[in-house]
Structure formats: structure tokens, C-alpha cells
Amino acid sequence: MTQILITVTINGREETKHVEPRLLLSDFIRHDLGLTGTHVGCEHGVCGACTILFNGEAVRSCLMLAVQANGQTLETVESLGTPDNMHPLQQAFHEAHALQCGYCTPGFLMTLKPWLKENPNPNDHEIREALSGNLCRCTGYQHIVDAVKKTTDLRQQTTD
């Protein structure tokens, strides 16, 4: 099968690889680039686990082809923080017990990152609406909503 040479900027780093046209962006990120923080759940756009940022916007990486990312900018959960220096969202998820098995968490975090920029002071309803495209089978969502509120509270304290 013909391979196509693509270059992407991912988490601030440039990567060039040959890919088959049928390679999904989610598999490219995990298998070809070794960034396994992006999880793959349903592979047909329902669960949201594979959410990444494509030119700054949250998208499902299982519903895009790797070749479509040629020349574009991607961000995955690895761009957020490290265990010693967590991103405020990660810290809030940790403190509010917003995860149990953690499989869905990268998708939630990447959905929330751009959304909170556009919606700095959301109410419960808006938070649930924003997260409606991400499934979590462990938490029942309440702690995730709590974590988002914790993040916005923290941010308000630091800007006050």
C-alpha cells in the first residue's frame, strides 16, 4: 500500500513519518509516536476517550485519518503536566477523586482544556453539557463536575 509522508507538530515537537492513508489519527499517535496517553475506547466516535486537540480544538482522534493531520498542530494529554508538576486540571481531578480506573480521563482533560478557556466561569449545567461527549463508567460524573468547579475556583483565587 502506498505510504504518504506527513509532518505534524505534536506537543510542541515536530514529527515526520510515513503512514498508510487508512491509519487513524488515534493509532498514529499511540503506535507510531508512542504517545499512549491518548486512549482508544469505541473507535466510532461515541466514548470520547481519544479526544485530542487539533489546531487547538477538541476532536475525536478515532474519527480522523493521520494523513489529515499533515502540517497541523496536535496536543495530547502528555502536553499537560507531569506526576511531579500536574496541570491545574489534573491536580483538581486528583483532589476531587474525579477518576477511578482512569481510562476515560485523558479524553475529559483534553475536552476541558480549550473549553475552560472559552468558558471560565461555567455552572453545573454548562459543565455537564460540555462533557456530554465523554463517557465515564466509574465515577457517575459528579466528582468530575466537582473537579471542574475546583479548577475554576482555584483560578479565580489566583487571579483575585
Partner 1 sequence: MKPAPFEYRAPDTLQEALTLLAENGFDAKLLAGGQSLIPVMNFRLAQPGVIIDLNRVSGLDQIDVLSDGQVSIGAMVRQATLEKSDLIRTRLPLLHQTIPFIAHPQIRNRGTIGGSLAHADPAAELPVISVALQAQFKLQNQSGERLVGAESFYKALFETELGEDEILTEVIFPATPTRTGYAFHELARRHGDYAQAGAAAVITLDEAGRCQNARLIYLNVGDIPMSASQAADMLTGNQLNDSLIEAAARHAADHEIEPGGDVHASAAYKRHLAFVLGKRAIYQARTAAQQLS
Binding of partner 1 by 86 (CB under 8 A): no
**Parallel, antiparallel, or unpaired for β 73-75 and 4-10?**
parallel
Backbone angles phi and psi of 104, in degrees to 5: -85, -15
Q: Give the amino acid at 110.
A: M
Binding of partner 1 by 121 (CB under 8 A): no
Minimum CB–partner distance for residue 7 and partner 1 (Å): 14
Pattern 23-62, binding to partner 1, x per CB under 8 A? Answer: xx--x---------------xxx--x--x--x--xxxx-x
Q: Give the amino acid at 44.
A: H
Minimum CB–partner distance for residue 158 and partner 1 (Å): 26
C-alpha cell at 107: 479524553
DSSP 30-78: IIIS--TTS--SSSSSSS-TTEEEETTEEEEGGGSBGGGGTT-EEE-GG
Which listed residue (22, 31, 97, 137) binds partner 1 by CB under 8 A? 22
Binding of partner 1 by 65 (CB under 8 A): yes
Binding site for partner 1 (CB under 8 A): 1-2, 4, 20-24, 27, 43-45, 48, 51, 54, 57-60, 62-65, 67-68, 111, 115, 129-130, 132-134
